[in-house]
Structure 1
Amino acid sequence: MFDTHLHVQRLRATDRYVTPCLAAAISEADWPQLRRLHDHNPQQWLALGVHPQHAHQWQKTTEDHLRRQLAGAGVVAVGEIGLDKRLAVSMEIQEQVLRCQLRLAVACDKPVVLHAVRSFDKLIPMLEQERIDRVGGVVHGFYGSVEIARQLERLNLAVGVGRLILDPAAKKLVDVVRAVSEDSLLIETDAPWRQPCGDWGLAWNQILDQVARLRDWDRHQAIRITDENARRILRVPHGETR
């Protein structure tokens, strides 16, 4: 199993995964802690970046700091970055910070981990302008339409399927899971978002089982496909975990 999005720095030590995962930062303050966690568990690969909720904290020195951090061991992606119209942070600031990080991802040849809430109208043109298809990545916690998912696929971006797929009312996401290429599906828990800490392996398995059912895959097939997708998109070889 490969969980492609969780915030391990916010989990209790007893709840942290020992299986392969991508641990995502949301602010500059997370970066050193995540680097230390990777040192103790090399199966915890890292996405470092500044989430739109912290975009107002971006300073002139942040870009250089992030560039240096992206060269560190275990850092495979730029994230969690994106746009979110629900936030108090102005869209102008969010867009400036996102564009800077997209350019850094392309320059450093790192895939991106994107957060998008009510913002695909602004996000997709920006991704096209910055040629993010060169590095690819994933839109995590996806909940948009099939058409948006297909636009993202053309930009070399996968769809992160999380706990929303367990909601019977999530009919749009059901359609997306059934419609997109199997190469575009990733499994994530976003732990510990809106949930107490606990057995996140259970949540991952529930999500996987639902995706398998919707795609008419058996469980082993679902694990193989989503694991291979995660490793290909994040460029994590099988031989580099222990």
Structure 2
Amino acid sequence: MLVDSHCHLDRLDYQNNHKNVADALAKAKSAGVDYCLAVAISPEKFPSMLEKVEQFEQVFASCGMHPLYVQDQPFDSAQMEAYIQHPKVVAVGETGLDYFYAKEHKVLQQRVFVEQIKLAVKHNKPLIIHTRDAREDTLELLKEHQADSCKGVLHCFTESLEMAEAAMEMGFYISASGIISFNSAKELQQTFKQIPLERILVETDSPYLAPVPYRGKENQPAYTRKVAECLAEIKGISLQQVAEQTTQNFFDLFSLAKP
């Protein structure tokens, strides 16, 4: 059994690649992926995403404001708080900081990030963190606002081992995506080789970042298996060990998600 700990089910191609959400989930199930966490990138997108996934018991949800969308709409903390209290929602995010694509909005990103950390702490729901080229500020804001009390995950991790270790000290998990299968990701592969399996999740971030041999095509939850297989190869262990431990990790972190 595997869990896709981060996917965007509302963004899959239902015109060409899947009949509907049920079809995508059936493909995942046939690959041994029994559960998914569907992640909203903004409060504006959350209601439509929830409508697509609410009927499926094997799908959990998260609501947050992605750092690359903060300039597109005002952040309504009260609205966000209402959404994260929905019984389907097990986490807050994705949220975080992205200075690679939008450094010019870093002050606004930080403000919105802090608001979401506070909501996660208040409601004791784990954070799903997007971080790119913002290691120091990400860690500093998480520490300053007591994110260790709600914990969370650094999703689609591509940063340094030092950042992973600092996050793990706060109780955070580190998530491996299809990027670990890329030929260009040798350094990242070595980083995951050193991260304890007990602190790793696996994800697709679908429809983005399809793993080898599907790179360049639309990603989907079924491909979580390929990520897990690559992680098993990197760490020199069996796929079963990866599946069992990462699934346990997921339900330990997202305690409101019931298997």
Q: Which whole-Å CA distance do the structure 1 matches of 2:116 and 2:233 have between them?
A: 36
Q: In the alignment, is the contact (CA less than 8 A) between 1:37 and 1:44 conserved in 2? A: no
Instruction: Give the CA deviation at 1:198.
Output: 5.9
Q: Is the 8 A contact 1:144 1:172 kept in 2?
A: no
- SS of the counterpart of 1:98? helix
Q: Which residue of 2 aligns with 1:9?
A: 10
Offset, 1:200? 3.8
Query: Using the alignment, how far apart are the partners of 2:122 and 2:72 within structure 1?
Result: 22
> What TM-score, normalized to structure 2?
0.86
Query: For the residues of structure 1 that align with 2:144 and 2:110, how far apart are their CA atoms?
Result: 13
Distance 1:180 1:198, change over 3 A: closer
Cα pair 2:40 2:94 within 8 Å, conserved: yes
Structure 1 residues not aligned, in runs of 5+:
none
Detail structure 1 runs of 4+ shifted over 4 Å in the superposition. none
Partner of 2:17: none
8 Å CA contact retained: 1:143, 1:172? no
Determine if contact 1:27/1:54 at 8 Å carries over to the other structure. yes
Identity over aligned pairs, percent: 24
| 2:207 equivalent to 1:206 | no
Cα displacement string for residues 121-179 of structure 1 (whole angstroms, at most 9, x for unaligned residues): 21111111011111111111111111111011001111110011001221221122111
The one-letter code of the counterpart of 1:6 is C
Mapped partners of 1:26, 1:222: distance in 2: 28
Structure 2 residue ranges without an equivalent (≥5):
15-19, 27-33, 210-215
2:101 partner letter: L
Q: Which moved more, 1:6-15 or 1:221-230?
A: 6-15
Distance 1:156 1:40, change over 3 A: same
In structure 2, the residue matched to 1:118 is: 133
CA contact (8 A) 2:62 2:94 kept: yes
Cα drift, residue 228 of structure 1 = 0.5
Distance (whole Å) between structure 2 residues aligned to residue 155 and residue 9 of structure 1: 31
- Counterpart contact for 2:98–2:130, Cα < 8 Å: yes
C-alpha contact 2:38 2:60 (8 A) present in aligned 1: yes
Does residue 215 of structure 1 match 2:235? yes
Among 75, 79, 92, which residue is 1:65 paired with?
Answer: 79
Cα deviations by residue, 1:186-232 (Å, 9 ceiling, x for unpaired)? 1001000155446541x211110111122222121111001001111
The alignment of Structure 1 onto Structure 2 pairs a total of residues equal to: 237
Secondary structure, in 3 states, of the residue corresponding to 1:160? strand
Deviations 1:44-87 (A, max 9, x none): 11110110111124536x11111111111210000110100133
Matched letter for residue 251 of structure 2: R
